[in-house]
Structure 1
Amino acid sequence: MRSTLSSIQIARYIISFSWLYHGIFPKLIHIAPLEKLMTASLGLSNELSYLVTKSAGVGEVIFGVLFFLFYRNKAVVLLNIIGLSGLLIFVVVLQPQLLIEAFNPVTTNIALIGFSVILLLEFKHEINKKNPLYSHTDSKNKESV
């Protein structure tokens, strides 16, 4: 028996993995130079910058787990879109030169926002399929084709 992942599950895994990875590796296990640059651009001391970066890593790991568990909650998906947009704006304002680097926030955040939009559209499609009016109008549309 062959099992395939739905687009919902693929989006769920990719978004969750991204939050977990970006929280664990460049912030908790080893603070990446880019992370230091970002917090330094806020004018924080080295100690405070370290704490902010570690706290952000913990927050990202927590959100990654929450997203994995509650990916069907529209508020969680919208919070993901808002968070990713906010992080992108943060880079645009404080470190715009990073926007032209390889694997930059434009390519990663917009792709993750796109996966979030796919989730929202798939959830809407599932709800419409369960609605009897949807099934009735859908069959009429098929007949007229």
Structure 2
Amino acid sequence: MSSVQVARCIISFTWLYHGIFPKIVHIAPLEALIISSFGFSSDISTFITKAAGIGEIVFGVFFFIFYKTYIANALNIIGLTGLLASVAVLQPQLLIEAFNPVTTNIPLIAFSVILLSHIRKVDFKNR
């Protein structure tokens, strides 16, 4: 399997996994903590968490299909940076926990950078 396919699969899998398990199948306590930081009621927080999970699943499928496009990788980088910044502002103590957003988001951003460099090389060769 090429590095491009590894990056594609890891990014897609991560979005799918984080959408399905800690948000839809079972709302993880840290997910609930982050969403509750916005001050919503319990019912609204549950709805937002599950809606975010659906959004992550949709993006995971979208990314798997369109991984060769600039827009898919830009959205991945912007989304992961935004999520990391949100945690840093709302619950900064989570940045030093095990399996934290720093150790998940930054590598996924790096995989998109690898994919973007591959896209540029392919575009350059086709000119």
Superposition TM-score, scaled by structure 2 size: 0.97
* 1:30-69 to 2 correspondences below 5 Å: 30-69=26-65
Runs of 4+ in 1 over 3 A off after TM superposition: none
The one-letter amino acid paired with 1:44 is F
The one-letter amino acid paired with 2:103 is T
Contact 2:69 2:119 in 1 (8 A): no
Deviation at 1:32, TM superposition (A): 0.5
Deviation at 1:129, TM superposition (A): 2.8
Distance, in Å, in 1 between the alignment partners of 2:69 and 2:114 is 14
The one-letter amino acid paired with 2:72 is V
Superposition TM-score, scaled by structure 1 size: 0.86
Report whether the alignment pairs 1:108 with 2:100.
Answer: no
Deviation at 1:123, TM superposition (A): 1.1
Alignment correspondent of 2:66: 70
Report whether the alignment pairs 1:128 with 2:124.
Answer: yes
Alignment correspondent of 1:142: none
1:89 is aligned, of 85, 97, 109, to 85
Percent identity of equivalent pairs: 62
Distance, in Å, in 2 between the alignment partners of 1:46 and 1:14 is 32
1:75 alignment partner, SS class: helix
Alignment correspondent of 1:7: 3
Gap runs ≥5 in structure 2: none
Deviation at 1:73, TM superposition (A): 1.3
Q: How many residues align?
A: 127
Computed over aligned residues only, the root mean square deviation of the Cα atoms, in angstroms, reads: 0.7
The one-letter amino acid paired with 1:83 is G
Distance, in Å, in 2 between the alignment partners of 1:102 and 1:114 is 20
State which structure, 1 or 2, has the greater radius of gyration over its C-alpha atoms: 1
